[in-house]
Amino acid sequence: MPAARTLSDRELTASYFARQLLHRTERPSAAGAVARLAALQAQYSPSPHLALWTRLPGFEHRELEAALLDGTVVKSTLMRGTLHLVAGADYGHLAAAWRGRWLTELRGRHRDADLDEAALEASLRAFAAVPRSADELREHTAAASGGRVRAADLLHYPRALLPLVHVAPSGHWRAHGKPRMVLWAGELPPEPAATARLARRYLAGYGPASRADLAHFTGLRLRQLDPALAELDGAGELVRYRAEDGRELLDLPGAPPPSDPGGELPVRFLPKWDAALLSHADRTRMLPAEIHQRVYRAVNGTLLASYLVDGLVAGVWEHARSGGAAVLTLTPLLPHGRRPELEREGERLLAFLEPDAERRRVVFAS
């Protein structure tokens, strides 16, 4: 077997920019883009809309909302116990892959509870056949378990036992309030096929990546991931590279090989919790280490809205509306000479965020 090619940090950044659809040279549907990106974090409703706006030319909110309504995109609690949007065709595999990890943790916390899990699942399955709020699911879990489920896990247990998906308007632009969930109509596939599908989706959108990166994204332990990776490897579905620091990186054989196209990459704005910055154990391919703590607030797990200059985070942004005026404020964190381009792209962003504003202005914080 030939020695694995070593990829430079620049090659990783440039190829990742393209893998994340940030060149805007392609125009898949909203559902197609979600599938290409494996999953979009969705604990903040506007973030997936902004994530698609920055990647898809001419994207409009109604396109994603229509996909959520027809089921080609699904919103659910999945990897790492976090809300995501995923392609409807992938949902069963991703839910099945995550379910094992979640149930293992819950069973460990309830090992002495004398809990009849099969009876609880059957009761919840019947109850969640129609949309239910989180409070209703908690109350039903408490009653159906005879009070044996800990208060902190009254919502975790139904989410782990059943594939529960959000119903509209959850996931719609600026949708707030308490969501309702309903039992997904499909059947969950078996392991390790489910985890192998998850690994394929991850590598397609975020590769080349290490085993540690895959574990970070999925929230699964390596002992759960390795059988799936062995299955992919045995089928000839993995290629290997090396990072500059010697880490082994995995990718799919049909993926474009990483390269440095030369020249600077266009500026782009990313929303809060954009998956491009959260999906690797080592985030430095887009988020420079020297500003990591200024963009990612580890205390409360908040990833600020940011902007990219030449493929790397160079600052953060926020916007405010007062009456008929909308202001986008950019706070540089690294020096760059792309201010005019950022202003133009910022004006586009403001038009998307506040289409009815009478005045829009892009300013730089001092």
Give 283-297 pLDDT, tens digit per residue.
999 999 999 999 998
**pTM, entire model:** 0.94
d(CA 350, CA 355): 7
Residue 359: both structure tokens together: 């005045």
Per-residue confidence at 259, pLDDT binned at 50, 70, 90?
Answer: confident
Query: Locate tokens 């056949």: which residue?
Result: 129
Q: What is the CA radius of gyration of the chain?
A: 21
For residue 300, what pLDDT is reported? 66
For residue 192, what pLDDT is reported? 85
Summary mean pLDDT of the chain: 94
Could you read off the pLDDT of 222-250 as tens digits, one per residue?
Answer: 999 999 999 999 999 999 999 999 999 99
Could you read off the pLDDT of 333-364 as tens digits, one per residue?
Answer: 999 999 999 999 999 999 999 999 999 999 99
Range 73-90 average pLDDT? 95
What is the full DSSP assignment across 321-341?
EETTEEEEEEEESS--S-HHH
Contact call for residues 213 and 12 (beta carbons, < 8 A): no
Range 27-55 average pLDDT? 96
For residue 198, what pLDDT is reported? 95
Could you read off the pLDDT of 260-284 as tens digits, one per residue?
Answer: 888 899 999 999 999 999 999 989 9
Range 193-207 average pLDDT? 95
For residue 153, what pLDDT is reported? 94
Position 269: which residue type? Answer: F
What is the full DSSP assignment across 249-276?
EEE-TTSPPP---SSPPPPEEE-TT-HH
What residues contact residue 198 under an 8 Å CB cut-off, 6+ apart?
38, 79, 93, 94, 97, 218, 228
Burial zone of 213 (CB within 10 Å; 0-12 exposed, 13-18 middle, 19+ buried): buried
Per-residue confidence at 3, pLDDT binned at 50, 70, 90?
Answer: low
For residue 92, what pLDDT is reported? 96
Calculate what percentage of the chain has a pLDDT beyond 70.
98
For residue 177, what pLDDT is reported? 77
Which own/partner contact pairs does 131-140 have at CB distance under 8 Å and 24+ positions apart? 131/167, 131/180, 131/181, 131/182, 132/180, 132/181, 132/182, 133/178, 133/179, 133/180, 133/181, 134/178, 134/179, 134/181, 135/178, 137/164, 137/181
For residue 1, what pLDDT is reported? 53
